[in-house]
Structure 1
């Protein structure tokens, strides 16, 4: 079954058509460049992969039972995700493009594995996987939907506010990876205070929020209009700005698609929203992605142009003079590599300072407040549970330590991730500028040797990524080996009938021991989890540093190798030509003309892409 027709008719919107055509044209240009210049194959393939892999996560969020999953099914034109009359979705499910339908489970531990589509409910729903007992991190569904073709990923999150607390936690934990959000309300329930509170959290992460009022089919038209006015006013007050609210019926849209009934589909009003969503994806994500790829291609063409010019100039020089220039370039490259090593040393120092300094600031104060708050809650729980038997009393305290400590640490970890992600992005920007300067100096030196101008191509392109940076530490289980304390749990059973007059004293003794030991375990749990998060944070910082360092080295090597190889080819051809360099010069002149053509086509492409984004 196809995704819903846009604007009520078959086919895509002009924006979607334009983006697909522009992307295909740019991919063709990249392939053509690699075909004509084999030396550019590796960077061209890397550029192609970035353009193809660039994705944009659109999260469906909101309270439970608002029809989020049904909305996704309607947008894709197929009932891919399970729905029911009770709170259902319990695991994050990501829908992405694939030529064939495929469902892959990504567990918290171990490698991913495929499942048949009919088994999906056994992993993503509360009845099939209660409390996520199967340990599923997320499920990835590949499907050939046109809406997902250009890097868009639609993410189904559990509803917040249901009786299943872990569903709310899962939905909140996914928000940092949100590029845009579909905030789903329901026409049969006026917008609530809890929904507005959740909206404030969504606004911290989503670059754009679309508001949808689902289930309009269950109300009369006049009632729907009244609910729409009320919801729009409440949302506008919450965000302090006018909002556009899309009234839709996911159920009617799916029914119209299944029955091939355009009138019913149009009455669902979903095509209006689908058109707005696609246009946004083109204007916001598509334009950024296309511009970054075109910038990268222009940069690559500038590099090839200089290498071609160096090879051409080397053919016209006496061999002795050429050898002298090659030697001078080799010495300058060695200097550039020394500069890179100094840059890498500074990079290590910056990350050490970041790792040491970040725990001395706001996150550490948060940790102190968190520990104090947990202690007060523990003391309150002790007083509140005094009526329980020692065994039940002990189990309640054990549950508190096992569950509440891990939950309480989520805010602290999130603060670390936000602060760490921003700091890593700032460091990366600084050191990318540093390697840009080193590369530009090397290119200018090589050009100066042969009276050439250095390339004037764009700086390293900035690819659109979600904010904050994708710096996310893995969720760490508490992993505590809690003491059994069986003797204390069984203390009342050990009191023989002849000593029953001491039962009250024995229970007080048991509770006193339980509280003392569990309070010590609480402190150990806080210390252990804080240590694990600190350790994980430092590990991820080191991984980020290694990745950035490798990127800096590779960028310098790509340029330096290209220049060096161009000089080597020129020297070899000059030596073999024995004074006759005409054929080689003609070949290089043809390459320069071809590069001129690529430059013109890239400029024309960027003008069309900018015009398309404005329409």
Structure 2
């Protein structure tokens, strides 16, 4: 059972359906390639350039092949999060001791060979051996995160992670620290992940603080939250004790759900994480099933398949159909031009006017839209600074060095929450700006093509298309060429250098990096052991105030840099897509002009165009029908 070989692999059904969609995408791309060959007829020496449709192929393929499902493991310290994570994976990737261990988030994904990368607050990263990871993630070796680690990413050759599932071991807090800030941070993280495993340990009896924490969590989204009651072996195998604990906790959680108007089943999974880990080490499948982890793993898989996985597949099927319809529209333009080559000059003048108008309109539209970024940036900067303003006020109220030492721990959590909120608000605001631009782009493309050929299908471009840089687009084309010679696994699994940031925005392009993680790491790096060097309260306050200013300046610089990059990416993406669109249409004119010089070829080309229209109509229909229905549960 080592590495998950004897355990049902995550999302097998998703893989099958994804393969069907990739095959459908291949079919559309194959028809498009044949059309391009016919398009280049009689145009010897014409270099093939990137087209709008070629870019759409790359974007959909990237999103399908790089789909990641993120499962976070949450809970207070000493609840067995790391032990459960290791049990689910089948190898030790997170430290397990009786003392609090995890100091920073640990992300675990698939890799052919075990390796790890440590990401730091200064933007650098360090590749380390897997067995050395604990030096950066453990509270013992990295107390208060004085090393300034933002997160650690590990890759391991575990079967059920192979299709893009990623697990996260999050830092926990003790009961005294489990305040509203910690709960808010956990709720933020639960909103981002595709599924969350919330762990509590009982017996002993779940305390009032932890019960309140659980009640706040289930009030949000019961579907994606898996409540796990971890028990020591002696309690887990005592049926009476186990049932009493589950009944008590379950009753409290149901009451909390009813108070906020939520209905539905509340399931608590009794698990013995220690036995799950022992079972994986000893390859004992019977013990694995008895541990309760087997049921948890299967239900996680089924949830991801039926919800997050189905959403991804439905979206991809619709996007592939839209590509086929966009290709059909281009063929219909060819048809219209072939109907009466004598009118080419008239159509060409009309296209020239429309393309010039398109350029003028989009220069104005982009400039107008991006003026909205300035006030958005100011709001984000204000959100980033709010925790610092409160911190300075709180700092002046502290009366002992001991209170000051405790101050940085709470401030770190506040900054993590504030930073995450800032990142999310920027993503929402900037996403609205870009969405408006994309709609204008589609409408103008539609208008230009309809002037050449009426009754065309609606043009729909990929979401996030304007957030892809030219370098990323080149990487997509290179990856496509490599994938033709590589195995499915190597095509699906990304390298360490591409991870980390994207896990905070699963399924979308990350707009603003993880400000919360950055802020927390900066606090640990710049403020740990700061008080020890000062004997007086006043000196300690002054030293901390200076560090607060340094951290705030660093975070604001990071915000400004990332916003500028996002703006430049959108500006260049709009221009690139406008040029690709114009290039596609002008090439059509050149093709038809070359054909018109050979009248005997006109009829053949007309028949070919009609066949391509039918072929792309079939592709669109087959893409939407590629999914056989809701994903079947595995197991």
- Please indicate the TM-score interval, normalised by the length of the shorter structure: 0.7 to 0.9
* Cα shift at 1:23: 0.2
Query: 1:69, CA displacement in angstroms?
Result: 1.4
Matches within 5 A, 1:430-469: 430-447=436-453, 452-456=454-458, 460-461=462-463, 465=506
Deviation of 1:144 (Å) = 3.5
- In the superposition, relative to structure 1, how do residues 244 and 521 fare at CA in structure 2: closer, same or farther (>3 Å)? same
1:194 corresponds to: 209
Q: Is the 8 A contact 2:270 2:292 kept in 1?
A: yes
Task: Verify: 1:229 aligned to 2:247, yes or no.
Answer: yes
Contact 1:188 1:218 in 2 (8 A): no
Distance in 1, Cα, partners of 2:292 & 2:540: 57
Relative contact order: is structure 1 or structure 2 higher (C-alpha 8 Å, sep ≥ 6)? 2
Match of 1:122 in 2: 135
Choose which of 502, 512, 527 in structure 2 pairs with 1:471.
512
CA deviation string 1:338-360 (max 9, x = no partner): 11111111122111232345667
* 2:312 is the alignment partner of 1:289: yes
Once the two structures are superposed, what CA deviation does each residue of 1:197-241 show, in whole Å capped at 9, x if it has no partner? Answer: 544775798782110112253211110111111222233344445
Question: Are positions 1:213 and 2:229 aligned together?
Answer: yes
Does residue 1:153 correspond to 2:155, yes or no?
no
Q: What is aligned with 1:601?
A: 622
- The aligned runs of 1:530-609 (5 Å cut-off) are 530-575=552-597, 577-606=598-627, 608-609=628-629
Sort the Cα spacing of 1:366 and 1:271 in 2 relative to 1 into closer, same or farther, 3 A.
Answer: closer
Q: Distance in 1 between matches of 2:255 and 2:276?
A: 30
Q: Secondary structure at the match of 2:102?
A: coil
CA contact (8 A) 1:228 1:245 kept: yes
1:336 and 2:349 correspond: no
Pair 1:183-2:198 in alignment: yes
Give aligned pairs, total: 560
Q: How far did residue 426 of structure 1 move?
A: 2.7
- Change beyond 3 A, Cα 1:94–1:78: same
Structure 1 portions without partners, runs of 5+: 386-395, 490-510
Asked if structure 2 preserves the Cα contact closer than 8 Å seen for 1:59 and 1:178, the reply is yes
Residue 58 of structure 2 is aligned to residue 45 of structure 1? yes
Cα drift, residue 108 of structure 1: 3.0
1:327–1:189 distance in 2 versus 1, CA, 3 Å: farther
Deviation at 1:87, TM superposition (A): 1.6
Q: Residue by residue, what CA displacement relative to the aligned partner does 1:492-515 show, whole Å, maximum 9, x if unpaired?
A: xxxxxxxxxxxxxxxxxxx7xx84
Query: Structure 1 91/371 Cα, relative in aligned 2: closer, same or farther at 3 Å?
Result: closer
Unaligned 5+ runs, structure 2: 37-52, 466-504
Q: For 2:151, which of 122, 138, 156 is the aligned residue?
A: 138
User: CA-atom RMSD, angstroms?
Assistant: 4.1
| Secondary structure at the counterpart of residue 200 of structure 2 | strand
The structure-2 alpha-carbon separation of the partners of 1:359 and 1:471, relative to structure 1 and needing over 3 Å to count, comes to closer
2:328 is aligned, of 291, 298, 305, to: 305
The alignment partner of 2:456 has SS state of coil
Counterpart of 1:347 in 2: which secondary structure? helix
Taking a change above 3 Å as real, the CA distance of residues 553 and 203 of structure 1, as seen in their structure-2 partners, is farther
On the 8 A contact 1:61/1:171 being kept in 2, the answer is: no
**Between 49-58 and 423-432, the greater mean CA deviation after superposition:** 423-432
Shift of 1:586: 4.0
Asked whether 1:275 is paired with 2:290, we answer no
For the Cα contact (< 8 Å) 2:70–2:506, is it kept in 1? Answer: no
| Structure exhibiting the larger radius of gyration computed from Cα positions | 1
Q: State the distance in 1 between where 2:377 and 2:185 align.
A: 29
SS at 2:452 equivalent:
helix
Write the deviation string for residues 124-160 of structure 1: whole angstroms up to 9, x where unpaired. Answer: 2233444434443222222333432333211011222
1:95 aligns with 2:108: yes
Hey, what's the Cα distance between the residues in 1 that align with 2:512 and 2:432? 13
Question: Alpha carbons of 1:399 and 1:279: their partners in 2 closer, same or farther (altered >3 Å)?
Answer: closer
| Contact 1:314/1:571 (<8 A) preserved | no
Instruction: Tell me the distance in 1 between the aligned counterparts of 2:250 and 2:3.
Output: 28
Taking structure 2 as the reference length, what is the TM-score of the superposition?
0.76
- Deviation readout 1:157-180 (Å, 9 max, x if unpaired): 122217999x97998596674332
CA distance in 2 between counterparts of 1:406 and 1:77 reads 33
2:395 paired residue among 361, 366, 374:
374
1:421 aligns with 2:462: no
